[in-house]
Structure 1
Amino acid sequence: MEAYDIGYLSLIACFLLLAIPLFVSHYLKLGLINETVVSVSRMILQLAFVGFFLTVLFDLNNSAVNLLWLLVMILMASHSTINEVGLDLKKLLLPTVVSFIVGNFLILLYFNMFVVDLENLFDARYLIPIFGMFLGNSLRGNIISVSNFYDTIRRNENRYLYSLSLGAKRHEAILPYARKSIKLALKPSIASMSTTGIVALPGMMTGQIIAGSSPILAVKYQMAIMVGIYVSTVMTVAIGIFMTIRSSFDDYGILKKDVFKSTNT
């Protein structure tokens, strides 16, 4: 049994629901009308592009092209992370890219080889959607961890420098801040795993059931995906912080001021 198609008129009917949050924003003077309209418009354009583009990719199913698209996704995610936390792109782009490659792509290969057991590890229909789920969740985790890490050290600069003055090595002084930031970034993933099933049905599981898969098959895929997401997030977040340290701190353990965008303007 295939999923019911959503026609364009039905899609328009769905967008009419947005009148409710727009009315709430207007009535309560939340100031979110323009932001909502812009966000929805960007979503429509991006998803329309992705829909047509993925159709072409799936039909072509060329391993080299698929891997090239993953690289584009990684570069965009790295740029978004660095830009979101207000750090210097030139200094931190390479270590951030490496963290996403190691934390997501390697887990993806393991997942496709040993969990899904694909004959073609680079099959576009599995490679791109699964990688997108890994990358999207690790992106959010990276933004939380990197932002908290550098903001906390900058706010507590005197305490951090005091630790160095007492003889602590760079990694010893940095570790408490890194540990706290990594834990903060992983809490949403842990909470999501603990409430999945009873409290919430995830998008992938719901989509498979609507598409005609049995609930048991959908559950098995969802469990595997959530484990993969958690592992890739842990790796990306941890590597993301420690890979950027070399570019952000000098040999004496002092945080360089020019890693922040505001100091360059």
Structure 2
Amino acid sequence: MTSPDISIPSLILCFLLLSVPLIISSRIKLHIVGKTINSVARMTIQLFLVGLFLTFVFELNNEILNLAWLLGMITVAVYTAIRNVELKMDKLFFPVILSFTAANLSVLFYFNEFVLDLGNLLEARYLIPIGGMILGNSLSGNVVGLGEFYAAIQRNENRYLYSLSLGASRYEALLPYISKSLRSALRPTLANIATAGIVFLPGMMTGQILGGASPLLAIKYQISIMIAIYVSTTMSTTFSILTSIWTAFDDFGLVRKEIYREKRKKK
């Protein structure tokens, strides 16, 4: 049994559902009508282009191209993570991309080798979709973790400096902020893990079932991927914060003011 096709007219009917949030936004002045339309339009165009390209990639299944595509995904994820926090790209891009690459590739290759037992770790049909799921969740964790860590340091600069003045090492003074940021970054993932199957059916499980797999096989896939997502999010967010400290702080343990991006003034 295969999933039923969604025709173009049916897809248009799905887009009509957007009228509900657009009407709500207009009525109570949320001011997100333009942003919603722009986001959905970009998503639609991007996904159709990616779908066309992935069809070609899957058919070719060239290991070098598959790995290049994955590294491209990592680069975009890192750029997006830094862009979505009030930090400068040139100061943090290198340490964060090292963290993303090390954490996500190690978890992804471990998953493909020991969990899926693939003969070819760079098989396009598994490498790119699973890598995308892992990267997407790592991205969310890093946006929260990095953003909250450096915002907390900025808000509590005097308290941080006081800890240093009492003789604490840089790591000892930063540890409370690192811990709090990581808890915030991992909270959504832990909530999804705790409520999976009761509150909602996760994406991979739903896709497996719609594709004709048995519910028990879908469950095993979902459990495995959620564990991989949690581990990769933990590793990448931790590594991103710790490695960024090398460039964000000087030899005296003081945060460099130039890492913060100037906030645009609203007109």
- Bin of the TM-score, shorter chain as denominator length: over 0.9
Q: Give the superposition deviation at 1:33.
A: 1.2
Q: Quick check: 1:77 aligned with 2:77? A: yes
- Distance, in Å, in 2 between the alignment partners of 1:17 and 1:184 is 32
Q: Give the superposition deviation at 1:32.
A: 1.7
Q: How many residues are paired up?
A: 265
Code of the residue aligned with 2:24 in structure 1: it is V
Indicate the SS of the match to 1:261.
Answer: coil
Q: Match of 1:11? A: 11
1:208-227 map, 5 Å: 208-227=208-227
Q: Match of 1:241? A: 241
- Distance, in Å, in 2 between the alignment partners of 1:219 and 1:188 is 20
1:35-50 map, 5 Å: 35-50=35-50
For the aligned residues, what is the CA RMSD? 1.3
Q: Match of 2:203? A: 203
1:1-265 map, 5 Å: 1-262=1-262
Q: Give the superposition deviation at 1:116.
A: 0.3
What stretches of structure 2 of length at least 5 have no aligned partner?
none
Indicate the SS of the match to 1:172.
Answer: helix
Indicate the SS of the match to 2:18.
Answer: helix
Residue by residue over 1:238-263, the C-alpha shift from the partner in whole angstroms, topping out at 9 and shown as x without a partner, is 00100100000001100000111219
Q: Give the superposition deviation at 1:28.
A: 1.8
User: Which 4+ runs in 1 deviate beyond 4 A?
Assistant: none
Code of the residue aligned with 1:47 in structure 2: it is L
What stretches of structure 1 of length at least 5 have no aligned partner?
none
Indicate the SS of the match to 2:17.
Answer: helix
TM-score (norm 1): 0.98
Residue by residue over 1:144-203, the C-alpha shift from the partner in whole angstroms, topping out at 9 and shown as x without a partner, is 010000000110000000111111111111111101101111111111100001111011
- Distance, in Å, in 1 between the alignment partners of 2:107 and 2:48 is 28
Of 233-242 and 22-31, more deviation after overlay is shown by 22-31
Q: Give the superposition deviation at 1:29.
A: 2.1
Q: Give the superposition deviation at 1:18.
A: 1.1
- Distance, in Å, in 1 between the alignment partners of 2:101 and 2:124 is 18
Of 80-89 and 145-154, more deviation after overlay is shown by 80-89
